[in-house]
Chain A
Amino acid sequence: MAAITAFSPRTVPTVLKHRAVHKLGLLALAAAVLVPLANARWAGGAWPDALTVDLTKPLTNASTWIVDNRDTHPLFLYFFGHVSNAIVLCVRAVYLVLLAAGWAGVTALSALVAWRVAGLRLALGTVAAFLTCGWLGMWVPTMQTLALMAVAVAASVVVGALLGLAGGLSDRLNRALRPVLDTMQVLPAYAYLLPVVLVFGMGVPAAVLATVVYAAPPMARLTALGLRGADKEVLEAVRSLGATARQGLLTARIPLARKELLLGLNQTIMMALSMAVIASVIGAGGLGDRVYQALASVDVGAALAAGIPIVLLAVVLDRVTGAAGNGSPSAEPRRTGWLYALVAALAIAVAGRLMGRLDWPDAWTVRIAEPVNRAVDWMTDHLYSGVPVVGGTADWAAHFTTWVLNPLRDGLTWLPWWSVLLVVAALAWLIGTWQTALTAVLAMAAIGVLGVWTPALDTLSQVLAAVAVTLVIGFATGIAAARSDRLERALRPVLDVFQTMPQFVYLIPVVALFGVGRAPAVAAAVVYALPAVVRITTQGLRQVDAAAMESSDSLGATSWQQLRQVQLPLARPALLLAVNQGVVLVLAVVIIGGLVGGGALGYDVVFGLAQGDLATGLVAGAAIVCLGLMLDRVTQPTERRTKKGA
């Protein structure tokens, strides 16, 4: 998501200050009138009961109706059933092809594709990645995941491209689509697993559809962006040559948007892969399921063995599609190259088949589970408690809970509900327009109306704490990486791993270090959100105008002065974006937090899914979406919004 946004520097602080005072004054005036009224009617701090709507009954009825009619109602027999069957057929077809190609064939074919679009180095990397999947004993699950991914990505690309086409060609559709895409992205995946499962049942179809919901938005956004961004002069020229609108679209606008389209594909693949594990909760099978099963027997090593292939797939797919988007090294003289390579790959596949070596040989697997588990045990044994001077991780977690999380939660729940709304309004208005402020306030109010005010504030307190920790560590690391190329290079693979490693893998170590509760939930969120923050910070600082840096150098500024007075102010838009991304990503892990004792909304969503309780799960999921919308508006500067275009 990070790559989609563009930013411009902010200026005129004095005018802004005037406006800020103005806005706050207006808000204070509104508050002076409304608050006494509200207080007179509904006294007390928490959200008034009179203003809530209980959705339990309608939602429970809806879910019962679906279960009772699923096998007989025409809607299911003639529509959802076919959708489901089509997905099963497609996934199965891809899976059978992959199995028929055998491990040698699959490896050779992917290496070939990587070589042609991205060069020799990535081809070798691809081979290494696939062989590692085999060595880890994960060949079959890897193929299952690949089959699922291929279908999900294809469907996401089609859906996303169609939406993007609509948005790119019509301004009105573009405006209408934006909130829909926003919601699709903030919606925690877990929350819509449940309704999808109700309709389609457990398993692959539900998993593919849930993945499409999650992975289509970046494709849609980038397609629209690419179509809108096409060079006006070129379009003019095409039109003057007498091309019809459709010809213009096909011959000029779409080819010109190639870069955005490929970036969209890249983002879609990454998002889809990150769903691979979450989808395992609803029986998608493959690598995700292996991670999930390993979690059940508290076996970090086995979870890691299934997690590594996911990371490798992600890195390989990211680099290869990324290279394709940037214009490949072997872009020109290709036809014959493709042909030779294709023949070679086919030969390898056939050779593998003839030798009867379709399945990965069992003898060629390494068991990494045991040493990994020993390492994790050692770590948790020695760090959990009783480390001299600094205390153990369990003590830190307890202190963090007592001194940071508890006061924050108690403070937020102590605040009268209208004052929370006022604070949200003030923050959102200061950083954006009255529209963003209104959205934020309405989102917050919706949480109250849904009747989950208190747990939502609990979740909010955890999110705020996690964002604060993420920003402190992320900015520090980002600044260091911006000043040292060596560090940046060294960090890159680490950040890749953090970003793509399924969260289920580090749940157990996190609990083993920090105990059960909100502290490990915060820790998991920090691990997940940190890479994006570090990356955006580093990039933002590096993009600071070289001339400004040089002139401050020539004025004799020390390194610290330069950082504080030149780099950080100039990189302000990037830093704000980092804050925004930090918030969004932390929120995405709230539910994972529910699995380690984070409680509140995250737990409710997990509970809803585990008990098939649509009322609890969906309401909590909706509340998380509202929290996400509110936080996004409060941290998202207006300039970015107007520039975004998609």
Chain B
Amino acid sequence: MGEGGLRGLLAAVSVAGLAVSLYLTWVYAAGAAPVCAGDGQGCETVQSSPYSSLLGVPITALGLLGYAGLLVSAAFRGFIVALSGLFLALLGTLFSGYLTWLELFVIEAICQWCVASAVLMVAALALTALRLRYS
């Protein structure tokens, strides 16, 4: 796959991530509970945990910023842009890993939306790393 294909895929992953983060940020702001498959309590538990915000900023808003940055990096060519994408995707993956650990061992509840976002972030990391070969 060439650079164009990788950038296209990265854009698609970023848009999917944006959609997930937007939905969760909207739910958080509205004080509602996210619609979660299954028994539906996991998403609510995670959302109401003290870890759902950082210095008053919802974690989902950080995701929103990350995916927006990745979408911008997918829109342009060049080594520095590709490097910026790698930075965002690696940061997002590391932080998502920490959040998933929190869900499993501290909050003891799984939010499927958060897991979906973590999977998208890992995909973005793979794409941004592959892209460096062409930049």
Do the two chains belong together in a single complex?
no
Binding site for B on A (CB under 8 A): none
Give B residues with C-beta under 8 Å from A: none
